[in-house]
Structure 1
Amino acid sequence: MSTQDQKVAIITGASQGIGAALVEGYRKLGYAVVATSRTIAPADDADVLTVQGDIADPATAERVVNAAIERFGRIDSVVNNAGIFVAKPFTDYTGEDYATVTGTNVDGFFHLTQKALPHLLTQGDGHIVSVTTSLVDSPDSRVPSVLASLTKGGLQAATKSLAIEYATRGIRVNAVSPGTIKTPMHPEVAHEFLAALHPVRRMGEINDIVDAVLYLETAPFVTGEILHVDGGMNAGH
């Protein structure tokens, strides 16, 4: 069971893939976790509280933060993992695509981080980390993805800005920028094509991203960092 001194992390997009693995990773660090997604099921672990909701809705952010304080009494870390990726030629994007992607990737980050940050400041030693994409820094004509670049690129810029704004107040802000990771969202038939996007000629594993997030969580002298975990994509082709 949680104790007054136990740290608490909020993790979005936590029902499957990277998010579910991040919940396990933070638990292994000894954190209590508030895990949220639209479809997340109740947890058997007393130190994992699940909250269903669409992170694009500001009311979800408020419910998640309130639940963390009511259940565990504190918030130490926020992991903005939830994200939507729609690969289309720029002129094929619809208004619905735009609203859906910006809602989850930008609005979700903004509302949750803004509501949680005062509680991190109360602890005086908080961490905010977001999951972006290496397509922001290394676009690829084989994967047209302007909405990913627009939204996740905004998160990378916000990461640096927040890191500087709160550098003297005990809050670190970082991001992990993955390549393509083997998750349920990628059908096996596409793996060969996706592997070829990386200079190392393979896709990443979920644990590669979890390890990167947990490194940043436990690295007290690292802030404002965009950590590329992408099989060399950011270096070039």
Structure 2
Amino acid sequence: MSTPDQKVAVITGASQGIGAGLVDGYRKLGYAVVATSRSIAPSDDPDVLTVQGDAADPATAERVVSAAIERFGRVDTLVNNAGVFLSKPFHEYTQTDYDQVTGVNVAGFFRITQLAVEQMLRQGGGHVVQVTTSLVDHASSEVPSVLASLTKGGLQSATKALAIEYASRGIRSNAVSLGIIRTPMHPVEHHETLDAMHPVRHMGEVQDVVDAIVYLENAPFVTGEILHVDGGQSAGH
């Protein structure tokens, strides 16, 4: 069971893929975890509290952070992993597409990060991590994705702004900027094409992302960093 000095991580988009990998990764670090997504199931682990809710809804953020404080007494790390990616020619995006992507990617970051930072200030420190995409730095003619650049690019800039605003108060802010990661989201028949989109000629694995975020977690002198975990995409083609 949790102890008063056990650190606590809040992870959004935590039910599958990268999010589920992060829950395991933070538990291995000894953290208690508050895991949230729309469809997340209860956990048998007494140190994992699951909270169902839509990341785009500010009420979900209130419930998640309140639950973390009520159950574990603190919030040491927030990983803003929940995200929506929708690739379409720019002129074909609908208002519904826009609302969905900005809702999860931007509104889903805004309120929960405010609440987590407020708690971190009370504690005297913490760590906020954003999950973004290397398409922000390296747009691709093969993957039209203006909404990803608009929203995740905003998060990438916000990552640095948060790092500077709170650097003197013990709160670090970093991001991982991803290539294509092998998750259930990508059907097997597309894997060969997706592999070829990286200079290293293969997709990343969930563990690659977890390892990168664990590195940032254990790097007290690193803040404002955008760590590319993208098989070389951001470096060139």
TM-score (norm 1): 0.99
Q: Secondary structure at the match of 2:65?
A: helix
RMSD: 0.5
Q: Secondary structure at the match of 1:213?
A: helix
Report what 1:172 is aligned to: 172
1:53 and 1:213 map into 2 onto residues whose CA distance is 24
Report what 1:26 is aligned to: 26
Offset, 1:125: 2.4
C-alpha deviations, 1:50-105, integer Å up to 9, x for none?
00000100000000000001100111110000000000000010000000000000
Amino acid at match of 1:156: Q
> Is residue 53 from structure 1 mapped to residue 53 from structure 2 by the alignment?
yes
Report what 2:83 is aligned to: 83
Q: Secondary structure at the match of 1:198?
A: coil
1:28 and 1:123 map into 2 onto residues whose CA distance is 23
1:156 and 1:204 map into 2 onto residues whose CA distance is 20
Report what 2:17 is aligned to: 17
Report what 1:102 is aligned to: 102
1:54 and 1:199 map into 2 onto residues whose CA distance is 35
TM-score (norm 2): 0.99
Report what 2:208 is aligned to: 208
Amino acid at match of 1:69: I
Offset, 1:193: 1.1
The 10-residue stretch of structure 1 (4-13 or 186-195) with the greater mean CA deviation from structure 2: 186-195
C-alpha deviations, 1:154-188, integer Å up to 9, x for none?
00000000000000000000000010000011111
1:112 and 1:156 map into 2 onto residues whose CA distance is 16
1:89 and 1:124 map into 2 onto residues whose CA distance is 45
2:122 and 2:193 map into 1 onto residues whose CA distance is 47
Q: Percent identity?
A: 75
Report what 1:225 is aligned to: 225
1:124 and 1:218 map into 2 onto residues whose CA distance is 17
Report what 2:2 is aligned to: 2
Amino acid at match of 1:185: M
C-alpha deviations, 1:96-146, integer Å up to 9, x for none?
000000000000000100111111112212000010000000011000000
Report what 2:141 is aligned to: 141
Gaps of 5+ in 2: none
1:85 and 1:67 map into 2 onto residues whose CA distance is 28
2:138 and 2:27 map into 1 onto residues whose CA distance is 33
C-alpha deviations, 1:27-56, integer Å up to 9, x for none?
000000000000000000000000000010
2:189 and 2:86 map into 1 onto residues whose CA distance is 18
1:155 and 1:186 map into 2 onto residues whose CA distance is 24
Report how many aligned residue pairs link the two structures. 237
C-alpha deviations, 1:207-230, integer Å up to 9, x for none?
000000110011000000000000
> Is residue 186 from structure 1 mapped to residue 154 from structure 2 by the alignment?
no
Amino acid at match of 2:58: P
Gaps of 5+ in 1: none
2:190 and 2:151 map into 1 onto residues whose CA distance is 24
Amino acid at match of 1:158: A
